[in-house]
């Protein structure tokens, strides 16, 4: 759901560019407090994997494809604020190097895929884990959290398109949420799969091991 | 976090980017489809502000489209890995107490 330049109007992309800059500042400060240098290799591998997996468009329905975004996976692995930084890096390089996503629209794309998705995923995951405390809950939680994260990010994107006057709300929101409800299934499967690999590899800096209540 | 895990992780990412990405679906993605249906897709197809070196994940100068995608994939994956490593190494604190 990378928004190209030309879709958003100036008030929208400027507002989101400023918001994203602020979020990146907060994220940097939070991440410096939360993580140490030993998390760098995992962050780098995650960023690389997210970039590569984003290239793998899969058919969804009627001539439309979807792709993994990865904000949820990053948040479930390292927490939502580190996810903001990882996704920002991926999105900036995708935009500047590969022309995927606009340059003026970077703030919007960072906000949607790099802020909304990770925070929704993290919040939903913790709620699901309140109910599913077993090991299966790791995977159910990852799937549901990442699915909802994609739908939420797509809805934010739809709202931005409408506020910009591109497409009316009554069209953009159901269309974006609807198609991303399908695309989100792919995101859920890939995220749960990646989580399984991380758990099997006994990666120790794992946010998703935290269960509300402290067990984990 | 073992070194082996990092190498395998990076190798898996490169594998996806090189071997699988050329076979990715060429269909419009969700946002593009919504824009296309609303008749506004071409608004996003104007001249970019800054010309991207590897537009649309196709390495320029490589006539075979699949190969161009693979090369773009490996270049991007390694670039992102290195950039992430460098930037986050500068951002994060060293261990406080030895080791």
Which helix H or strand E contains B29, and what residues bound it?
Answer: strand B28-29
Point out which residues pair with A36 in neighbouring strands.
B93
**B58 vs chain A: nearest CA distance in angstroms?**
8
- Measured CA to CA, the distance from residue A1 to residue A112 in angstroms comes to 9
CB-CB neighbors (< 8 A) of A25 in chain B? none
Q: How confident is the model at residue A213 (pLDDT cuts 50, 70, 90)?
A: very low
Task: Tell me if chain A has a CB within 8 Å of the CB of B98.
Answer: no
| 34-73 of B, contacting A, C-beta below 8 A | 34-35, 37-38, 40, 43-46, 48-57, 69, 72-73
Q: Which distant-in-sequence residues (6+ apart) come within 8 Å of A186 by Cβ?
A: A58, A60, A66, A67, A68
pLDDT at A203: 76
**A134 vs chain B: nearest CA distance in angstroms?**
24
Give the model confidence (pLDDT) of A25-70 as tens digits. 999 999 999 898 989 999 999 999 999 999 999 999 989 999 999 9
Task: Tell me if chain B has a CB within 8 Å of the CB of A200.
Answer: no
User: Residue A214 pLDDT more than 50?
Assistant: no
The fraction of chain B above a pLDDT of 70, given in percent, is 95
Phi, psi of A175 (to 5 degrees): -65, -50
Q: Which candidate, A6, A3, A8, places its Cα nearest to that of A164?
A: A8
- Measured CA to CA, the distance from residue B44 to residue B32 in angstroms comes to 9
Which helix H or strand E contains A65, and what residues bound it?
Answer: strand A64-66
- Measured CA to CA, the distance from residue B55 to residue A75 in angstroms comes to 29
Q: How confident is the model at residue A215 (pLDDT cuts 50, 70, 90)?
A: very low
| 136-165 of A, contacting B, C-beta below 8 A | 154, 157-158, 161
ipTM: 0.94
How many A-B residue pairs are in contact by the CB < 8 A criterion?
A: 217
pTM comes to: 0.95
Mean per-residue pLDDT for B21-28?
95
User: Residue A71 pLDDT more than 50?
Assistant: yes
Q: Which candidate, A145, A159, A130, A137, places its Cα nearest to that of A188?
A: A145
Q: How confident is the model at residue A216 (pLDDT cuts 50, 70, 90)?
A: very low
Give the model confidence (pLDDT) of A83-104 as tens digits. 999 999 999 999 999 999 999 9
Mean per-residue pLDDT for B58-73?
95
- Measured CA to CA, the distance from residue A77 to residue B3 in angstroms comes to 18
């Amino acid at each position: 759901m990378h928004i190209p330049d030309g879709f958003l109007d100036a008030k929208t992309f400027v507002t989101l560019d400023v918001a994203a800059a602020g979020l990146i500042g907060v994220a940097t400060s939070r991440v410096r407090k939360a993580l140490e240098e030993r998390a760098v290799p995992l962050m780098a591998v995650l960023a690389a994997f997210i970039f590569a997996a984003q290239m793998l468009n899969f058919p969804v329905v009627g001539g439309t494809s979807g792709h993994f975004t990865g904000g949820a996976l990053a948040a479930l692995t390292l927490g939502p604020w580190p996810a903001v930084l990882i996704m920002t890096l991926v999105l900036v390089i995708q935009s500047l190097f590969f022309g995927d996503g606009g340059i003026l629209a970077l703030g919007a794309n960072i906000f949607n895929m790099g802020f909304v998705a990770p925070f929704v995923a993290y919040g939903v995951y913790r709620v699901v884990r309140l109910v599913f405390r077993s090991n299966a809950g790791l995977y159910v939680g990852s799937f549901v959290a990442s699915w909802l994260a994609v739908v939420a990010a797509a809805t934010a994107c739809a709202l931005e398109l409408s506020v910009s006057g591109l497409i009316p709300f009554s069209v953009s929101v159901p269309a974006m949420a609807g198609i991303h409800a399908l695309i989100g299934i792919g995101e859920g499967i890939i995220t749960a799969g990646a989580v399984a690999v991380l758990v099997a590899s006994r990666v120790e800096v794992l946010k998703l091991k935290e269960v509300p209540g402290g067990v984990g | 976090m073992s070194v082996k895990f990092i190498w395998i992780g990076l190798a898996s990412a490169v594998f996806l980017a090189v071997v699988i990405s050329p076979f990715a679906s060429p269909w419009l993605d969700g946002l593009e489809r919504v824009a296309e249906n609303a008749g506004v897709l071409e608004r996003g197809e104007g001249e970019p502000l800054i010309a991207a070196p590897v537009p649309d994940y196709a390495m320029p100068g490589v006539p075979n489209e699949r190969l161009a995608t693979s090369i773009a994939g490996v270049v991007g994956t390694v670039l992102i890995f290195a950039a992430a490593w460098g930037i986050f190494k500068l951002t994060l604190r060293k261990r406080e107490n030895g080791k």
